[in-house]
A and B are shown apart, each in its own frame.
Chain A
């Protein structure tokens, strides 16, 4: 979610001051950060004194405040409805599957020194597979981007979840041509902002010796 917000701001030249939150040290639960975001999670923004948490709420706020090009979050009610469908569905589908795998296959064993819970990983993989099928057959059906012919905030959020598990060599487009083409299109649109935003996760994966995770 943090990468999605950063890329959005960079693409739209929204000026921001970056504050690194040291998740490994639990900084997101510190008193200072909880004053900014009581949920104790990243990302969060402060616009003057006004705080916003939750990446989707942040993106919606910034799109409105900075009058970003319409395609990022279209005003047309039918176009917006289709993107909103994805934004709602994302939490318990894309995010649940992808983060479920990454957390239990990487963070659990390599950072928290906990044994892998194969049941949980299997469930997350099933969820990921169903998610990718829905993207392939519904959200990207007849569209180059999620429910749209132009890139929107939905694409940023979705792609950034998948790039996380790409560190485990999971190829989301392997058996799904719509997903494959979509991924390439979104990355092409984001250009250098994409690479820049992904430096940290690439380094982290290297540092932790993350290896390939089987996925069909």
Chain B
């Protein structure tokens, strides 16, 4: 089978989720680094692949797919990955789909935007921190973690399921972004703590490999601890 062309920058949580999914499932791919700081995602060449100008994107032959969740759903189907990644059973799938929907305006907003406000804004755009926004994002993060603790992981070792799925990849890769800020998501939440350890254990070396870039990035920018309760 020919390789999937994968357009990515591993500082991005959704890119990490897609890469880890492909690696764990032995899906052959060609990595194409998209130089975000140089604006490569807005170049004509890249916009031909992804008119929305964001990463990740894939090309399967001539067929392009954008949006990380759509990509992973496509790959799961195309490569007939083990059922637990995105179960056929409509009830289990519904629970995972709940998370996938909810993720965009909860986990991603709380964790992803918080990282952006605390790191990118001051260190890359050289603008002052917006403390109001940061406070609001921390509240969103807190509420997201509470919902994970009390709903998605309530009675389940993984999000809405007894086995690891794509939902866990998206959630963990988003939350690992803010771990660069010294934020311990499992500090006051036992289910989240245990879940995090379980998912990382399942992903093994692929997890570490996918996170090298963001760890390097945080070191390079002297990212320090951000208070969070």
Contact = CB atoms under 8 A, between A and B. Distances in A.
Interface of A: 38-39, 50, 52-58, 60-61, 64-65, 77-78, 80-82, 84-85, 87-89, 91-92, 134, 137-138
B78 interface: yes
Contact of B102 (A39, A58, A85): A39
Overall SS of chain B's interface: helix
B93 A50 contact: no
Given A39-B147, A138-B51, A60 B74 contact: no
Contacts of B100: 57
Given A85-B66, A85-B70, 9 more contacts: A57-B98, A58-B94, A60-B97, A64-B93, A81-B70, A84-B69, A91-B101, A91-B104, A138-B52
Interface string B36-65: 000000000000000110000000000101
Given A60-B93, A60-B97, A38 B151 contact: yes
Interface in B87-118: 90-91, 93-94, 97-98, 100-102, 104-105
B77 interface: yes
A88 B102 CA distance: 10
A55 B63 CA distance: 28
Contacts of B179: none
A85 B66 CA distance: 6
B98 A52 contact: yes
B136 interface: no
Contact of A54 (B52, B69, B91, B101): B101
A88 B69 contact: yes
A54 B97 contact: yes
A56 B104 CA distance: 12
Interface string B106-148: 0000000000000000000000000000000000000000010
Counting chain B CB atoms within 10 Å of each CB, the highest count among A38, A52, A84 belongs to A84
Contacts of A65: 90
Interface residues of B, number: 28
Contacts of A88: 67-70, 104
Contacts of A55: 101
Nearest to A1: B101
A85 B97 contact: no
B74 A134 contact: no
B185 to A, nearest CB: 19
B74 A89 contact: no
